[in-house]
Amino acid sequence: MRRSSTLNIGCILLLSASVLLFFNGRTWLGLLCVALGAVLGVMAGQAMTTEPRGVSGGGDAE
């Protein structure tokens, strides 16, 4: 499994856990999960932009 998809899954799990914590009255834990989910989302976005794409089928080579 690629690193970015692992981070995306972690981000989704943390955000869903934060929703459950908010409904159970655990506001601080919910905010912590939201913050961790945002960090994982940013890391996943960076991993997706820096991953090697292989041989491109075109591009702007002259």
Domain ranges (residues) in the chain: 3-49
pLDDT of residue 23: 80
pLDDT of residue 35: 83
| Span 5-58, pLDDT tens digits | 777 777 778 878 888 877 878 777 878 878 887 887 787 777 666 656 555 555
Q: How far is CA 36 from CA 8, 26, 49, 58, 60, in A?
A: 12, 16, 20, 38, 38
pLDDT of residue 50: 64
Terminal CA-CA length for the chain:
35
Residue appearing with tokens 């981070």:
7
pTM above 0.75? no
Q: Which amino acid is at 53?
A: R
pLDDT of residue 52: 60
pLDDT of residue 40: 77
